Structure 1
Amino acid sequence: MTVHGLSSPFSPHGDQPLQIAIVGRGFSGLMMAIALLKSVSQPFRLRMFDPRPIVSGGQALATARATEILNSRARDLSVSTGEPKDFTRWLQANAPFREAVSAAIPGFGQIFVPKATFSDYVYQRFSEALAQRTDVSVQMSNEGITGIRRHDNGLFTLGLADGSEATYDTVVLATGYGLKAPLETAAQGLEAALQERGDAPRHVVVMGNGLRAVDQVLQLRDGGFTGRITILSRRGFLPQPHTRMPADAVFPSQPMPSQLRNIVRFVRKACAEAEENGWSWQAAMNGLRKRARTLWASLPPSEKRQFNRHLRAIYDSHRNRLPADVHARLERELAGGMTEMRRGTTLKRLPDGLFVRWAGQTAGEHFAVDEVIDCRCLSPDLKDPVVTDLLSAGLATTDELDLGLAVNPAGELLTQRGRPVALFAIGPLGLGSLPDIDLVPEIVTQTYAAAALIDARARPQLQAG
């Protein structure tokens, strides 16, 4: 079986091998494949579905420009749970990258690397894991998925866009935030508009205030845009900076309060104490992240809703941080006067701009701009027909706030009846159940947990055969 230049001949062992389908070939999908190749002990056949005709290192990485930098340090990006320094060793063995990095830095673990570099690493580790499994067959399919149904015998049938069907023992949804084919990038859309109009816009609005919005602003400047940029955000909290040197997790060991308002006071005090003791608030936030999942699970639905309304934007701006150099560049951009942040809620897109209700106002008004680039934070697409079919069939349910699909830490979908089925949603689809499951370390841990569960459940079938 050939996979983009890789050959992995299948050698059958005993009865029919395990049949596994992964829907999505971004980072979550490739990471799930790596975990399966390393963890499932018996032979299996894997088919990876994605309407994109390429295999990429991730949804955010597939269209990344060479200058885009990941917001996590290299030390946190290993795809091997038992080898936390795997990525830094890979970087050290990469001669062109090693030559481009200053020899003055104390170690590769603290640096921030281009997204394209991490994408290369992920695909190489996938390729190596596949090459080591001569008992595994991998097929790449560009067909979209139109439906998933479960049979009484526990098997799943996938409906494909070409009208055919395929049956599997286990299905893994690893689609990022949804199942739709990705749209063109914002930069591509703007470039196409410029070519069609034949002139340059004077004023561009970037909607959103997260990492994608910052990337877009800097990409516009890198591409030669000299006009006005307005960053339009409802809350107005831009990403905070990483420390220059790595900030190890520091957090009080005493139990956290149970009420949200007291938790906020506790976290603020922890950040202040960290700075007083020579650490940083970033170190305290890193410590909080280690307890975030347990903390989130302990909150009642009413306080989870309160957090999402009033605190989510603040939390995200402190957990999704920018490399210090990138943050300094953003500050210079804002200080220069041609880029500004404005708080407001977009009520409607108009042919010549937006209809916006500005913060502190009750009525909306027309905001004339030449181009609008939507970089607002993504949320799981629960209206996709495949997802709605799963929900109506009782194979999945939403979390208690309807933020995403309800999953356990291994990513297994929680059904309305609470019965385990061999159906998984890896990564951001489970954001409502698992805070930070959109970050690389958490996705890596989850995929290995899912692979271990798949392997354990397959063993009794193998023994019975």
Structure 2
Amino acid sequence: MAGRTVAVVGGGCSGVLAARELLRGGDRVKLVEPGEPGGGLAYGTARPWHLLNSRAGAMSADPDDPGHFARWAGASADEFRPRAEYGRYLREVFDGLSGVEVVQARATGLSAHGVALEGGREVRADEVVVATGNPAAAQPAARPEHPDYIADPWRPGALEAIPSDVPVLLVGAGLTAVDVVLTLTADGRRDAPITAVSRRGRLPLAHTPVPAPPTSVPFGQARGLRDLVRIVREAASRAGDWRAVVDGLRPVLDQLWGSFSAAEQEQFLRHLARPWECHRHRMAPSVGATVDALREEGRFEVRAGGVRSMTAPPAGGLLVELEAGVQWFGAVVNCAGPGRLPAAAGSFAGNLLDEGHARLGPHGLGLDIDPQGRVIAADGRVRDGLWLIGPLRRGARWETTAVPEIRSQARALIDRGK
């Protein structure tokens, strides 16, 4: 399969890593991206105080050189570096690739000979790799059309426009909410409190400054989800640091996810996914310390529950009905995680679904794929030459949003079809 022309749709982390590996395998690469390759949402919009939530030693673009990023950054393997710095690293990695044709345009779907672009043009290619990143964020059911409701906190200038003397509500309490809190309090001038609300009211937990070695879990005897949860809890109590057990599970998470029945997967999503995410996707230690200090000072609080309604009073801001009653906020910021497909699919993936080139993956978390990563069409047939890497594999896989896993998926493209 080597030596073919491959169009990579998406120029974020997934797209850069895919392009790098395809070139190594001898393919010709056309990268379709309307912006600058290498940034992506996670890194291109980050501020100096936004840190990676993985250590530098895990973030290399090269599977054969785990220390590549740490050396580039002049950092130790255990450090948590700025996300904006990692964006510069990815751009430098991309700039060092020889032979990539960059097509600065927005892909709208597939064409008869490759990828269709806005304006009626197309990119001709033998194969296509979908590397478009995360689905769009979920939106609360009570979402209003109002200037004080910020649907996208990464929109340039959105957070800076919020006055420092009005209370702010964050809908969601994950890593995006943490980033927003850091931005709103960065200059030290915020007088009014920030409240985050989520169904469980749980923030991500924090890494330790020095990692404990991963601990393997004897899950071979587990009979279903309930039994596995018991085994993991017992292992965590024996290990002393639950982080070692969580990190030890990482290499086998896709295997475990695939072993669950559809009902068990749905049960996990309803009851265990959020606690798992809090343990798995952790804050850098310094970020955790900052958040703890803000909570102790009363400048930031986290509540359990949901948003029942939002209304706009004539004087501005939003009246939000929460579990504890109605409260006025000068701004409401959506910090929810990725939404479910098809609503959150994005224009390119949404078009693949609409045209029957793809079908929904399990639970609407992503697109469906075969074991090799090829997209499965609406008629159940595998689409030869249409590949998927990155977060949109979720559902068919579980552990597919972090750099080490995406890096492995990109490397596997070299041997695709063999």
**TM-score by shorter chain over 0.5:** yes
Deviation string for 1:298-331 (max 9, x for gaps)? 1111111111011110000000011222212211
Contact 1:344 1:356 in 2 (8 A): no
SS at 1:110 equivalent: coil
For residues 399 and 87 of structure 1, do their structure 2 counterparts lie closer, same or farther at Cα, with a shift above 3 Å needed?
A: same
Partner of 2:182: 218
Paired with 1:347 and 1:142, the residues of 2 have a C-alpha distance of 42
Letter matched to residue 401 of structure 2:
D
Instruction: Give how far 1:369 is off.
Output: 0.4
Q: CA RMSD in A?
A: 2.5
Partner of 2:38: 56
Paired with 1:127 and 1:387, the residues of 2 have a C-alpha distance of 27
- The match for 1:379 among 326, 339, 361 is 339
Letter matched to residue 25 of structure 1:
G
Report which stretch shifted further, 116-125 or 228-237: 116-125
Runs of 4+ in 1 over 6 A off after TM superposition: none
Q: How does 1:121-160 map to 2 (within 5 A)?
A: 121-128=89-96, 130-131=97-98, 136=99, 138-149=100-111, 151=112, 156-160=113-117
Partner of 1:334: 295
For residues 389 and 62 of structure 1, do their structure 2 counterparts lie closer, same or farther at Cα, with a shift above 3 Å needed?
A: closer
Paired with 1:242 and 1:305, the residues of 2 have a C-alpha distance of 28
Instruction: Give how far 1:252 is off.
Output: 2.7
Paired with 1:72 and 1:258, the residues of 2 have a C-alpha distance of 32
Partner of 1:258: 223
Partner of 1:346: 307
Instruction: Give how far 1:443 is off.
Output: 0.7
Partner of 1:5: none
1:22 aligns to 2:8 (yes or no)? yes
- The match for 2:61 among 69, 79, 82 is 79
SS at 1:346 equivalent: coil
Instruction: Give how far 1:343 is off.
Output: 1.4
Contact 1:177 1:380 in 2 (8 A): no
Partner of 2:22: 36
Instruction: Give how far 1:88 is off.
Output: 2.2
Instruction: Give how far 1:86 is off.
Output: 1.8
For residues 354 and 72 of structure 1, do their structure 2 counterparts lie closer, same or farther at Cα, with a shift above 3 Å needed?
A: farther
For residues 347 and 312 of structure 1, do their structure 2 counterparts lie closer, same or farther at Cα, with a shift above 3 Å needed?
A: same
For residues 240 and 109 of structure 1, do their structure 2 counterparts lie closer, same or farther at Cα, with a shift above 3 Å needed?
A: same
Contact 2:374 2:382 in 1 (8 A): no
Tell me the TM-score normalised to structure 2 length: 0.87
Letter matched to residue 91 of structure 2:
Y
Partner of 2:238: 273
Q: How does 1:55-204 map to 2 (within 5 A)?
A: 55-92=37-74, 108-128=76-96, 130-131=97-98, 136=99, 138-149=100-111, 151=112, 156-178=113-135, 185=154, 188-192=157-161, 194=163, 200-204=164-168
- The match for 2:172 among 204, 208, 224 is 208
SS at 1:177 equivalent: coil
Deviation string for 1:398-420 (max 9, x for gaps)? 22322210124553212343434
Instruction: Give how far 1:218 is off.
Output: 1.4
- The match for 2:30 among 33, 47, 72 is 47
Paired with 2:78 and 2:192, the residues of 1 have a C-alpha distance of 35
Letter matched to residue 77 of structure 2:
G
Instruction: Give how far 1:179 is off.
Output: 8.4
Paired with 1:256 and 1:204, the residues of 2 have a C-alpha distance of 48
Instruction: Give how far 1:228 is off.
Output: 0.9
Report which stretch shifted further, 211-220 or 413-422: 413-422
Query: What stretches of structure 1 of length at least 5 have no aligned partner?
Result: 1-16, 93-97, 99-107, 195-199, 457-465
Partner of 2:272: 311
Query: What stretches of structure 2 of length at least 5 have no aligned partner?
Result: 138-150
> What fraction of aligned residue pairs are identical, expressed as a percent?
31
Paired with 2:78 and 2:371, the residues of 1 have a C-alpha distance of 28
For residues 142 and 382 of structure 1, do their structure 2 counterparts lie closer, same or farther at Cα, with a shift above 3 Å needed?
A: farther
Contact 2:7 2:114 in 1 (8 A): no
For residues 183 and 18 of structure 1, do their structure 2 counterparts lie closer, same or farther at Cα, with a shift above 3 Å needed?
A: farther
Instruction: Give how far 1:385 is off.
Output: 5.2
Paired with 2:354 and 2:221, the residues of 1 have a C-alpha distance of 38
Paired with 1:349 and 1:302, the residues of 2 have a C-alpha distance of 34
Q: How does 1:385-404 map to 2 (within 5 A)?
A: 386-404=348-366
Partner of 1:300: 261
Instruction: Give how far 1:176 is off.
Output: 1.0
Paired with 1:423 and 1:326, the residues of 2 have a C-alpha distance of 39
Higher RCO structure, 1 or 2 (CA under 8 Å, sep 6+): 2
- The match for 1:236 among 184, 201, 214 is 201
Tell me the TM-score normalised to structure 1 length: 0.79
Partner of 1:370: 330
Paired with 1:48 and 1:380, the residues of 2 have a C-alpha distance of 26
Contact 2:165 2:192 in 1 (8 A): yes
Letter matched to residue 339 of structure 2:
S
Instruction: Give how far 1:354 is off.
Output: 5.0
Report which stretch shifted further, 346-355 or 398-407: 346-355
Contact 2:108 2:351 in 1 (8 A): no
Deviation string for 1:351-401 (max 9, x for gaps)? 33254342xx8xxx5331001111111236524454344235442222232
SS at 2:235 equivalent: helix
1:419 aligns to 2:382 (yes or no)? yes
Contact 1:186 1:374 in 2 (8 A): no
Contact 2:320 2:329 in 1 (8 A): no
